[in-house]
Amino acid sequence: MSSSNADLTRFWSHKVHELSPYVPGEQPKLNNLVKLNTNENPFPPSPKVLAAMEAQLGDTLRLYPDPNATELRQCLAGYAGLSADQVFVGNGSDEVLAHAFQALLQHDQALLFPDISYSFYPVYCGLYGIEKDEVPLAKDLTINVADYQSPNGGVILANPNAPTGELLGLTAIRQLLTANPDRVVVIDEAYIDFGGQSAIELVPAFDNLLVIQTLSKSRSLAGLRVGFAFGQHHLIEALERVKNSFNSYPLSREAQAGAIAAIEDEDYFQHTCQANIAQRDKLALQLQALGFSMTQSYANFLFVTHAHMAAKDIALLLRKRGIIVRHLTSSPRITNYLRISVGSSSECDTLVLALKALL
């Protein structure tokens, strides 16, 4: 018999009481909203993706999908210049990251990652009982790989970093890998296609490197939930062991077909990436003209601050005008910054006009 006065959390496990869950970007259900808070791509997916997915909507949906995603892994391997046994796929890069935390980063020593980075990293540490050491970014909010040479249980870096958008070059990543030969280094490349050089080319040379990517950002497929990892076979095998102890069928038939079509449509991918980059650089100049300063972003967002108006006030006033940006408060160092996704040309124009009126 239940009671309204009873502590219903008594049913929770001890671990659940301790968790501080990840808070995703707001997804408001409002019409005519300029939504610049979750780094979604303003371009639609490739038409070839939609056609490939539609072709799967038939009698075969009564059958399980390929648990090994064989064709997709072969496609990704060919794209990356690796073999299929060096590729892992999962239900979005967040799931791939979760498997990596459990399979490769759960050791006696602390996991190293920046104090300002993707906020899922400390959440996974809490979930899997992993000790963490959050390494402070430099004063200019960049990462110095020399800070990641202390004894550790692994290293994970978002590159470009989120929410700053700053990029590490391959020389710095090689230095990081060489300094940590007995620990796995995970490079989380959710935004790499917007101006960086992927560390995938380093996979054959380093047995401690795992590179994770996603179709959510540069391929306009955040709703499809497809992520993947590249690494030498022994690292991929560890991820497979966790995956097959958790969910053997993470990707549906439609997701696998759509992902293959997205990878194969290189022309559409290059066109939309270049358009995003051009829009980002244009918006950066427009915001600088309005008195904003910002980090050097190689992602599909800008990380900005204004000298004369508080970030929280700007975010609130923009919201009243139907424009949503992300005000992050995870660290005192960034409470006066806003993360602004690069939207369509018309969305960015609307943002700039609103900021001109406010400022």
Residues in the chain: 359
| Contact of 199 with 187, CB cutoff 8 Å | yes
Kindly report the CATH class assigned to 11-45+267-358.
alpha beta
Burial class (CB in 10 A: 0-12, 13-18, 19+), 201: middle
In 3D space, the residue among 266, 234, 193 whose CA is nearest the CA of residue 88 turns out to be 234
The one-letter code for the residue type at 60 is T
Which pLDDT value is given to residue 306? 96
Q: Which tokens sit at 349?
A: 């124009």
ω into 160 cis (within 30 of 0):
yes
Other CB atoms within 10 Å distance of the CB of residue 81: 12
- Segments making up each domain of the chain, as ranges: 11-45+267-358, 47-265
In 3D space, the residue among 273, 283, 298, 299 whose CA is nearest the CA of residue 43 turns out to be 273
Which pLDDT value is given to residue 176? 98
Q: What pTM value is reported for the model? A: 0.94
Q: How far apart are CA 42 and CA 348, in angstroms?
A: 11
Which pLDDT value is given to residue 359? 86
Q: Is the dihedral of CA 342, 345, 351, 352 positive or negative?
A: positive
Q: How far apart are CA 157 and CA 145, in angstroms?
A: 10
Which pLDDT value is given to residue 32? 77
Question: Tell me, what DSSP letter sits at residue 269?
Answer: H
Q: How far apart are CA 101 and CA 224, in angstroms?
A: 23
Full DSSP string of 8-42: GGGGS-HHHHH-----PPP----TT-EEESS---S
Q: How far apart are CA 229 and CA 98, in angstroms?
A: 12
The one-letter code for the residue type at 62 is R
Question: In the sheet that 34-36 helps form, which strands lie side by side, from edge to edge?
Answer: 34-36, 323-327, 338-341, 301-306, 292-294
Provide CATH code, domain 47-265: 3.40.640.10
Grouped pLDDT means (10 residues each) for the chain, 359 residues? 68 82 71 89 97 94 95 98 98 97 97 96 95 96 96 98 97 98 98 97 98 98 97 98 95 97 98 98 98 97 96 96 92 94 96 95
Task: Name 12's Cβ contacts closer than 8 Å, sequence gap at least 6.
Answer: none
Q: Is the dihedral of CA 152, 142, 134, 218 positive or negative?
A: negative
